[in-house]
Structure 1
Amino acid sequence: MTFQDLQIDWLKCFVAVVDAGSLSGAAPEVHRSQSAVSMQIKKLEAALECQLLLRGPRQHQLTPQGQILLGYARRMLDLHAETQAAFHGEELKGRIRLGVPDDYAARYLTPVLKRFAPNFGAVEIELYCEQSTSLIPRVKSGDLDLVLVSRDNPRQGTLLFHEPMVWVGEAQFQVWRRDPLPIAVYEDASLAKRSALRSLALQGRRYKVVYNSSSLAGQIAAVESGLAVAVLTQCSAPPHLEILGSEHHLGPLDPMEVAVLRSRASRGSKAVDSLHALLLRTLRLSVPA
């Protein structure tokens, strides 16, 4: 059986619609009219013999087949851009001041940097690992160029995905059986702390804060030593700790909105442009909620 080849322009329009949420929003991104974008999507669907997008009340949504295609499409466009740069692009130089919390660095940032570094070896990256509450003011002031953070304001940056939050405890100590419940928390402004206290309040469960630490390592140490239970992002929860839930009399937690923020001062930097675009292509809507 002979299959129709997929065109780069079709994939560009498809990804643009997903990122913008609508045909009208995607049109200026790909320098086409709304009707032309619609036609490209129809050609792509005809070639793959399936529906990729559903028109929702406010924006287009992916079908299961569209979700499968999205990962491939981003990778193909990424490779296409790398190929173009290898033959026609100028060597990028400069410095990028990048911020990320500890819990997102290994799981989400490392794969992006592995793809970025081989192609832009002349770009110097300064990495700062701090809590989101510290990073957001720094990118707003221009002290940092890019940050990958948990946001509490939908107007901050570009939403990438939702990261689940989980209660964790050490099985051998069974701290979750104590009353009041001993908990380890981040600093006062932390979204994780707010989520934990809100969940306990809704349950009417008594608690006491026995450990404060702004670092992920500190939170894990408190749990491992049997001092407390803690709330962590799912991606950072060590496999040797027990995930706690309703059977431990602990309620659900609100997920984190993970977003990328860029400083105004970095707008003229092609190096920052490239890394920002790679973060969007790699992480936006490609991580399951």
Structure 2
Amino acid sequence: MSAPLDIDQLHTFIAIVDTGSFTKAADRVFKTQSAVSMQMRRLEERLGKQLFAKDGRGNRLTAEGEKLMHYARRIIRLNNEAVAAFDDNRLEGTLRIGTPDDYADRYMPEIIGRFAKTHPNVELYIVCEPSISLAEKMARGELDIALVTHNPRTRVSDIVRTEPLCWVTSANHPLRDDAPVPLAVGRRDCHWRQLACSALDADGRDYQVLFTSWSSTVIAAAVLAGMAVSVLPESTLRTGMRVLTSADGFPPLPPVQIGLMKRPGLSPSLVNAITDHITACLDNITLGPVPEDMDSRVKMLPGMQKLKANYIAPGW
């Protein structure tokens, strides 16, 4: 029987991936750089594969290293869940989390499902509102954590994910190309609306805002009914939507950055527990090439676990 992988070596491997260097990883795992290098040599020997390749003065992951990264994160996460299940000193209390409803639909099932398994004594109080409203609640101390659209001009957040922002229309209704682009977007201070309008203005493309709402459900309904075009992050696209590209006459958009806001003074153990789950779950979402018809790619998320949580009315 093959020897099992060493958990400590996998911890060090992930630290190298996250920090981008052996030196920084050594500080994170409280080891010397030589000890870190030795662990990686042993891990490569155990797998019989090269995990890192020289890239100038640094190191980059090989294809085999990329493959191991996904397994390593899953192994470490499952290990942490198993240890927490037998921890008599597990975390307790209430954690107030804010997120826009489109992020809630796509990301929160896995995040809070896993967190509830690991920390069943923590009550999750979840608020769904636009990023700008969540930032205001954070400033007033009404939330502990907020997953928001990163916008350095209006708020400070730590970037935890970057992905393409896509133009979308209905896959089942033709889009007229002889009329102004009919838009379904958020309110005037919505960051995605501003990006969309700025891109169309720069491209000299006529458009008309037909639907304005903070609700991603309302925006999606207008798109799926063939009544409007909107912009969405790639991972939140829904079945029945088609991505519009430059071939359709739509200009490229800058990528979406998802940020994490944390209330100062929050219990370090509690904030570290939830932020670790958030970053791990977001990192676990993989995106392939964007097909024109999303019907061929969109999949349902795993079901949400039964949670002790309060869910406030959604908004975009």
Shift of 1:160: 2.6
Task: Give the aligned partner of residue 216 of structure 1.
Answer: 216
Structure 1 window deviating more from structure 2 (124-133 vs 199-208): it is 199-208
Structure 1 residue 255 and structure 2 residue 255: aligned? yes
Contact conserved, 1:12 with 1:77, CA < 8 A, in 2?
yes
Structure 1 window deviating more from structure 2 (19-28 vs 5-14): it is 19-28
Task: Give the aligned partner of residue 241 of structure 2.
Answer: 241
Query: What are the superposed Cα offsets for residues 46-70 of structure 1, whole Å, 9 maximum, x if unpaired?
Result: 2222222345569654322222211
Task: Give the aligned partner of residue 135 of structure 2.
Answer: 136
Contact conserved, 1:102 with 1:129, CA < 8 A, in 2?
yes
Contact conserved, 1:54 with 1:63, CA < 8 A, in 2?
yes
Assess, with a 3 A threshold, how the Cα gap between structure 1 residues 105 and 53 changes in structure 2: closer, same or farther.
farther
Task: Give the aligned partner of residue 103 of structure 1.
Answer: 102
Assess, with a 3 A threshold, how the Cα gap between structure 1 residues 121 and 200 changes in structure 2: closer, same or farther.
same
In 1, Cα distance between the equivalents of 2:108 and 2:159? 15
Task: Give the aligned partner of residue 114 of structure 1.
Answer: 113
Alignment of 1:53-132 (within 5 A): 53-54=52-53, 56=55, 60-132=59-131
Whichever residue aligns with residue 152 of structure 2, its letter is N
Query: What are the superposed Cα offsets for residues 172-216 of structure 1, whole Å, 9 maximum, x if unpaired?
Result: 553442422221221223221122123213322111222211110
In 2, Cα distance between the equivalents of 1:69 and 1:278? 19
Task: Give the aligned partner of residue 299 of structure 2.
Answer: none
Contact conserved, 2:235 with 2:287, CA < 8 A, in 1?
no
The gaps in structure 1 that reach 5 residues or longer are none
Shift of 1:90: 0.9
Residue identity over aligned pairs, in percent, reads 34
Contact conserved, 2:84 with 2:119, CA < 8 A, in 1?
no
Alignment of 1:146-225 (within 5 A): 146-153=145-152, 156-171=156-171, 173-225=173-225
In 2, Cα distance between the equivalents of 1:279 and 1:60? 27
In 1, Cα distance between the equivalents of 2:173 and 2:82? 54
Whichever residue aligns with residue 228 of structure 1, its letter is A
Task: Give the aligned partner of residue 304 of structure 2.
Answer: none
Assess, with a 3 A threshold, how the Cα gap between structure 1 residues 179 and 109 changes in structure 2: closer, same or farther.
same
Assess, with a 3 A threshold, how the Cα gap between structure 1 residues 133 and 57 changes in structure 2: closer, same or farther.
farther
Shift of 1:257: 1.3
The gaps in structure 2 that reach 5 residues or longer are 289-316
Whichever residue aligns with residue 205 of structure 1, its letter is R
In 1, Cα distance between the equivalents of 2:215 and 2:59? 39
In 2, Cα distance between the equivalents of 1:51 and 1:157? 36
TM-score by length of structure 2 reads 0.80
Assess, with a 3 A threshold, how the Cα gap between structure 1 residues 188 and 45 changes in structure 2: closer, same or farther.
farther
Contact conserved, 2:224 with 2:240, CA < 8 A, in 1?
no
Task: Give the aligned partner of residue 230 of structure 2.
Answer: 230
Contact conserved, 2:169 with 2:228, CA < 8 A, in 1?
yes
In 2, Cα distance between the equivalents of 1:205 and 1:152? 25
Contact conserved, 1:213 with 1:219, CA < 8 A, in 2?
yes
In 2, Cα distance between the equivalents of 1:74 and 1:171? 36
